[in-house]
Amino acid sequence: MSFLAWITLAGVLFLIMPLLSVFLKRLPFSSSLIYISLGLAISPLWLNFISIDFIHESIVFEHLAEVAVIISLFVSGLKLRLPLTHSAWVPAFLLAGPVMICTIAGVAAFSHWVLGFAWPVAFLLGAVLAPTDPVLASMVSVTDSRDEDRVRYGLTGEAGFNDGTAFPFVIFALIWMEHGTVNEWVSDWALHRLVWAIPAGLLLGYLLGYLLGYLLGKWVARFTIHGISSPLLYFY
């Protein structure tokens, strides 16, 4: 199956499951069992729709990993409902901004001067290790949209921002490794990846998120009237 076929299958599944939630909630098991059963059904154990070769299908799994990260951050972001002007966001901005950049620089310096790594490799190691992911640790992340604990909010917000903050530095390190030196390519990289891409991405993400939330808010209200309820519908 191609990457588009997998995305189509996942999209159809995510659309059908909420619509069937009114029937599934009467069953003595959770929806997770259905997802696992579907995975087993398409595996070589039964229908044999998929025979995974991780080497030859590396590009597909790279895209799937990207989708998994996006979904994870999206679900975590749904729990952060305080306005951006609220003081609870300040720790998240500081952790994902200056603190993480200082961490990248510190790890890179330690890796170069103590461990003997070349500067591009040391910088890449710092960019990879600096972000944290408390979204995967329920004990230190926001549990629901009503959770206003400052520590949880700061860590969960940082976990969402840090991927976007660290990504340009990862790309910078990889390009540095490819060229071997820091020369004229740095200005083009900074112009396209920092000055243009980050503000444009933030603006586009905000506009699309606001529009999607508005449209899905009406969709949720319509399905709620008909008695259909599912966490996948509560996007707004």
pLDDT level of residue 209 (50, 70, 90 thresholds): confident
φ, ψ of residue 130 to 5 degrees: the values are -65, -45
Compute the mean pLDDT over every residue in the chain, rounded to the nearest whole number.
78
For the stretch 132-148, pLDDT in tens is 665 445 567 777 666 66
Sign of dihedral through CA atoms 172, 176, 181, 186? Answer: negative
For the chain, domain boundaries: 1-71
Question: CA-CA distance, 106 to 96, in Å (whole number)?
Answer: 15
Residue 122 has pLDDT above 90, yes or no: yes
Question: CA-CA distance, 103 to 109, in Å (whole number)?
Answer: 10
Residue 79 has pLDDT above 80, yes or no: no
For the stretch 47-76, pLDDT in tens is 777 777 777 878 888 888 788 777 777 777
Residue 236 has pLDDT above 50, yes or no: no
Q: What is the pLDDT of residue 111?
A: 93
Q: What is the pLDDT of residue 119?
A: 92
For the stretch 163-192, pLDDT in tens is 778 888 888 898 888 888 887 788 888 888
Helix and strand numbers, DSSP H then E, in the chain: 10, 0
pLDDT level of residue 106 (50, 70, 90 thresholds): very high
Percent of the chain with pLDDT over 70: 81
Distances (CA, A) of 75 to 17, 69, 78, 133: 17, 10, 5, 14
Q: Where are the alpha helices (DSSP H) in 130-196?
A: 150-179, 185-189
First to last CA, the chain: 33
Question: CA-CA distance, 155 to 92, in Å (whole number)?
Answer: 6
**DSSP secondary structure string, 20-45?**
THHHHTTSSS-HHHHHHHHHHHTSTT
CB 77 within 8 A of CB 213: no
pLDDT level of residue 125 (50, 70, 90 thresholds): very high
Q: What is the pLDDT of residue 120?
A: 92
